[in-house]
């Protein structure tokens, strides 16, 4: 036991400390009030200046207001008085997001886009009737620009020699393709009916000869022979099921697939 004649009042000291901290926290509103008064002062100064303008007042007014608002901005950051309040938001550094630069289109993309645009324009302007009837169609995927020609437009039934109308069409197509050299695969497709000819063995034979006829004509019109090749698929790659005469007509077609990937020749494109 402590026999000292003086015993401090511990409870009173703790109470005074709590009261002091509470008073300090309650005084935080003074900062916001001071900012508000500053803004009101700037507002009335602006009104007074507008009512009594003389030459040169606009520049001085601008400089005065800039100084006032800059001082207000600097006072936005809170100043802690006493111990910080639990849960008070902390300052967060804002980093301005920079736009991600986009890479310019490659030569391959520009070439493929030009071919697609020119072929589409040719189909729409010079062969609009064929396009509307579905005999000519153009499409684009991630790796290919595809020009589909119905076999009835190019060949007589069961034949592989090009019709005169087909030659006129291929002259136009060849002029576009030779200006933008790309790998071209010419696919021949037939329906599932057996061939009825003494000179043909099967649909494999017919589809291969038809695609070869198109390739030979395009090469004759100036397309690089190293960049083009014929492919025969017989009836193994139908567009729709061979259930009736109309469906079989849709499956008899030749497709020019123009690659978007750059290559020096068709052999390296396919096998390297």
Pair 138, 218 in one domain: yes
Pair 206, 264 in one domain: yes
Pair 251, 152 in one domain: yes
> Does residue 30 fall inside a structural domain?
yes
Cα–Cα distance measured from residue 239 to residue 134, given in angstroms and rounded to the nearest whole number: 13
Pair 50, 114 in one domain: no
**What pLDDT, on a 0 to 100 scale, did the predictor assign at position 63?**
66
Local structure of residue 52 (DSSP, 8 states):
S
Q: Give the confidence band of 84 by pLDDT, cuts at 50, 70, 90.
A: low
**What pLDDT, on a 0 to 100 scale, did the predictor assign at position 122?**
84
SS3 (DSSP) at 225 = helix
Q: Which residue has the higher pLDDT, 246 or 1?
A: 246
> Does residue 212 fall inside a structural domain?
yes
Pair 256, 151 in one domain: yes
What are the φ/ψ torsions at residue 217 (nearest 5 degrees)? -65, -40
Which of 237-240's residues contact partners 24+ apart within 8 Å by CB, and which partners? 237/187, 237/189, 238/189, 238/191, 238/192, 239/189
Whether the pLDDT of residue 22 is over 80: the answer is: no
Tens digit of each residue's pLDDT (9 = 90 or more) over 136-157: 999 999 899 999 999 999 999 9
Cα–Cα distance measured from residue 174 to residue 177, given in angstroms and rounded to the nearest whole number: 5
Cα–Cα distance measured from residue 169 to residue 123, given in angstroms and rounded to the nearest whole number: 10
Pair 66, 125 in one domain: no
Q: What number is the average pLDDT over the span 36-46?
A: 72
Whether the pLDDT of residue 24 is over 90: the answer is: no
What are the φ/ψ torsions at residue 146 (nearest 5 degrees)? -115, 125
CATH number of the domain encompassing residue 210: 3.30.1330.60
Whether the pLDDT of residue 4 is over 60: the answer is: no
Whether the pLDDT of residue 89 is over 70: the answer is: no
Which of 74, 96, 120 terminates a domain? The answer is 74
Whether the pLDDT of residue 99 is over 90: the answer is: no
Cα–Cα distance measured from residue 208 to residue 187, given in angstroms and rounded to the nearest whole number: 8
> Does residue 90 fall inside a structural domain?
no
> Does residue 2 fall inside a structural domain?
no
Domain range holding 198? 107-271
> Does residue 80 fall inside a structural domain?
no
A 10 A CB-CB count for 207 gives 27
Count: domains in the chain: 2
**What pLDDT, on a 0 to 100 scale, did the predictor assign at position 188?**
97
Do 145 and 116 contact (CB within 8 A), yes or no? yes
Pair 264, 149 in one domain: yes
> Does residue 166 fall inside a structural domain?
yes
Pair 188, 69 in one domain: no
Containing 51, the helix (H) or strand (E) segment is helix 29-51
Q: Give the confidence band of 71 by pLDDT, cuts at 50, 70, 90.
A: low
Which of 58, 74, 90 terminates a domain? The answer is 74
Q: Which of 159, 258, 168 is nearest to 213 (CA)?
A: 159
> Does residue 83 fall inside a structural domain?
no
Which of 20, 54, 74 terminates a domain? The answer is 74
Look-up: residue for tokens 């709590």?
A: 18
Whether the pLDDT of residue 103 is over 60: the answer is: no
Q: Which of 190, 188, 186 is nearest to 248 (CA)?
A: 190
> Does residue 82 fall inside a structural domain?
no
Q: Give the confidence band of 239 by pLDDT, cuts at 50, 70, 90.
A: very high
Count helices and strands (H / E) in the chain.
10, 5
Tens digit of each residue's pLDDT (9 = 90 or more) over 105-117: 555 556 667 888 8
Q: Give the confidence band of 237 by pLDDT, cuts at 50, 70, 90.
A: very high
Query: Taking the chain, what is the end-to-end CA distance rounded to the nearest angstrom?
Result: 99
Q: Which residue has the higher pLDDT, 224 or 90?
A: 224
Pair 68, 154 in one domain: no
Pair 252, 125 in one domain: yes
Give the Å distances, CA to CA, from 216 to 34, 161, 192. 89, 11, 26
Q: Which residue has the higher pLDDT, 220 or 106?
A: 220
Q: Give the confidence band of 18 by pLDDT, cuts at 50, 70, 90.
A: low
Tens digit of each residue's pLDDT (9 = 90 or more) over 162-207: 999 899 899 999 999 998 889 999 999 999 999 988 889 999 999 9
Pair 176, 267 in one domain: yes
**What pLDDT, on a 0 to 100 scale, did the predictor assign at position 27?**
62
Whether the pLDDT of residue 73 is over 80: the answer is: no
Pair 15, 138 in one domain: no
Q: Which of 149, 123, 129, 145 is nearest to 249 (CA)?
A: 149
Is the whole-model pTM more than 0.95? no
Question: What does the radius of gyration of the chain's CA atoms come to, in whole angstroms?
Answer: 42
């Amino acid at each position: 036991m402590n026999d000292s004649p003086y015993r401090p009042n511990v409870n009173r000291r703790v109470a005074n400390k709590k009261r002091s901290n509470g008073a300090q926290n309650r005084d935080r509103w003074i900062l916001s009030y001071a900012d508000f008064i500053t803004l009101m002062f700037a507002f009335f100064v602006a009104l007074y200046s507008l009512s009594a303008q003389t030459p040169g007042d606009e520049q001085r007014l601008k400089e005065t207001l800039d100084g006032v608002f800059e001082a207000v901005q600097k006072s936005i950051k809170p100043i802690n008085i006493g111990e910080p309040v639990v849960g008070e938001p902390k300052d967060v550094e804002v980093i301005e997001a920079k736009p991600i630069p986009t890479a310019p289109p490659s030569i391959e993309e520009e070439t493929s886009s030009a071919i697609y645009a020119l072929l589409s324009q040719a189909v729409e302007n010079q062969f609009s009737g064929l396009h509307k009837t579905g005999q000519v169609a153009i499409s684009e995927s991630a790796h290919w620009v595809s020009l589909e020609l119905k076999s009835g437009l190019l060949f007589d039934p069961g034949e592989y020699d090009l019709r005169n109308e087909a030659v006129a069409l291929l002259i136009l197509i060849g002029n576009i393709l030779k200006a933008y050299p790309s790998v071209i695969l010419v696919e021949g497709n037939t329906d599932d009916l057996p061939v009825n000819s003494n000179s043909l063995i099967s649909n494999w034979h017919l589809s291969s000869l038809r695609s070869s006829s198109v390739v030979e004509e395009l090469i004759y019109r100036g397309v690089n022979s190293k960049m083009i090749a014929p492919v025969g698929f017989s009836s193994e790659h139908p567009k729709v099921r061979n259930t009736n005469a109309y469906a079989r007509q849709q499956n008899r077609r030749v497709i020019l697939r123009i690659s978007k990937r750059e290559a020096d020749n068709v052999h390296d494109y396919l096998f390297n």
